[in-house]
Structure 1
Amino acid sequence: MLKANLDREEELEYDRHWRAFLHMAVQSTVGKGKSQRMRYSKFEKFYNRKKAKKELDKILNPKSESKTEEESRVKRIIEYRKRKRGDE
């Protein structure tokens, strides 16, 4: 259920950014005269969907990601100590 809600929220955020990009594309230009061009030539430069999805996942599941980072750090420390003991 949480996964479905996360996907729905991500899709809504994508839609909002797409509309903002289209609105901005009409109004926002860089340069003057003949050298005018759009500020963002591609939507991907305006909105990075993968990064936004990771941030949204962090917000909705703060414990799961921090726990895995902590576990991986602890595992690396244990492996380091085992190698150090074996060399001594």
Structure 2
Amino acid sequence: MAEYKLMLKANLDRREELEYDRHWRAFLQMAVQSPIGKGKSQRLRYSKFEKFYNRAKARKELDKLFNPKSESKTEEESRVEKIIKYKKRKRGDE
């Protein structure tokens, strides 16, 4: 299971890196083609790449997918645990 989680984390990091590269290319393309204003007051829509793509925020979102804050069990797992507890109580094990 640990190896699986490690492979999953590596895959998510790879995806994030690809997404970063795509956004970087889009930013450069956009920087050339989309000035705001007219005449002498022209400026770029995004002055910094970080305003266009917040890498830290994107990484946090991916980490939420990989490590949710409350690693709650699925509905089925919790139902099975409740049944097991009920049967133990009924037998008098607890």
Indicate the TM-score class for this superposition, using the shorter chain for normalisation: 0.5 to 0.7
Paired amino acid for 1:57:
D
Q: Name the SS for the 1:67 alignment partner.
A: coil
Q: Number of residue pairs matched?
A: 66
The counterpart of 1:30, out of the listed 36, 41, 53, is: 36
CA distance in 1 between counterparts of 2:10 and 2:19 reads 14
Task: Name 2:59's counterpart in structure 1.
Answer: 53
TM-score normalised to structure 2 length: 0.64
CA distance in 1 between counterparts of 2:62 and 2:13 reads 10
Q: Name the SS for the 1:19 alignment partner.
A: helix
TM-score normalised to structure 1 length: 0.68
Paired amino acid for 2:24:
W
CA distance in 1 between counterparts of 2:50 and 2:69 reads 28
**Identity percentage of aligned residues:** 78
- Structure 2: which 5+ runs fail to align? 1-6, 72-94
- Structure 1: which 5+ runs fail to align? 69-88
Residues 65-76 of structure 1: matches in 2 within 5 Å? 65-67=68-70
Paired amino acid for 1:32:
K
Alpha-carbon RMSD: 1.7
More helix as a share of residues: 1
Deviation at 1:58, TM superposition (A): 2.2
Task: Name 2:87's counterpart in structure 1.
Answer: none
The counterpart of 1:39, out of the listed 32, 45, 59, is: 45
